[in-house]
Structure 1
């Protein structure tokens, strides 16, 4: 079995069997190609079926020189998943990464913005610009619903259920969930659709896509990053932010104002409550409020 064929089959498995997003699959594939390149450069003639633990360990030592511990841990996790797939398909009997330990990394707390900082970002949008109304609506939607950037750019008009107060979101693994949407975000979406989007001719395949660029196609992840980056510079925000920062802020502000952790988990689309619990670490006042409210000795 050649590496190229194995990687191609693995990509198909991740897409069809596990329903992973293109970005996740691309990330896994890049790490495998790094291993393939390592073997080629060092003239090590091992296939995916024959490669052993010692060689994998040599590769891990090599990448440790160039990447931080978090990236190193991610690469090891990706390799472990790949060899588990080969075992599942009966190509191998053992996983050469089983005894390789990933570096210990602390839990990275998400960056958040204050309510005032989010208001400043949105207020800095130039509504006289042709795309200003759309950009304001994008930020309001992300902050109102805690969306991932991929969920935002793939949002459809047919996903809007304003009478019920919900939108339908397609998350990781093509799993759908219904998320409440604030009336302010509903108002701005309606304004955008009536006054901006209705004058754009969608290209074929984008007729139902909510957010369009000037050429009638869907927006890219990079475009959303640039919108936020430009606004951060405009208001002299001394923080490194991304679309995910709005998602983190959504969850943190809900928790701070008394929302139940399980409800936040459902709205964010987290499979495990453990993932959502990181927001408790961001806002420790939540724990104090729980004790103050519910302890019998209060």
Structure 2
């Protein structure tokens, strides 16, 4: 069977890993594009078990961080276009979108897999959020100027299909902004420990189905017909830790983890959940720190844990 990413290579066994505690599956790697992924790709019901806690409550705890991320991006959007329509895929409560909308003339819309988060976000932030996947959303073709996908693609059972769905809805000249893990670094502890002792381990972030290096991402984007404008690497300290080059770096992977408890916050009234948001921190402090950190998002490297990619239709 050809590689699900580049469609040219023939993937080979790489290691075994725990998709979630107790569920052992095979990971294969393509010798051509270097992508790695679970084979077979887990069905929807198995993927859902990676998120028993749904991290619903966390959406409220990180409210201002998400809001300020949107406010920060609005500056770059305005430098590019005075107005347009932005979609955030995997938008949770739509707080990032509210940050963009409140600080620009851009229209915003979201897609969120969790119906509970989509409903709460629409009420809390007044943002239009479609529950489910982008491919099944009612967003029409060539209606968007900018699509934002932050830590989404690695969770997709069909990353090619996800990119095609985004490209289909972009206007000509529209842009897609991707942030996702550097696949070989993301998978490194799980693979290295398996090679050392033959024991399947969890991956660093549960629910990651595909582990995509730069070569694989370039192959995917080429298949979709999107032109790369920038390709940056960052989070270098996390990259060192993932490679086991910092003390205690792999302690988490050596532990036997019980199933994550279910987060009961989905059943809580919205008014109680709002109490988790707290007071707004200093925007000036956030802006200065974020501006400095972005200086370390560097082109041409693959040492850091994450990639940031901007492409154009």
Determine if the TM-score, normalized by the shorter chain, exceeds 0.5: no
Normalising by structure 2, report the TM-score.
Answer: 0.24
Greater strand share, structure number:
2
TM-score (norm 1): 0.25
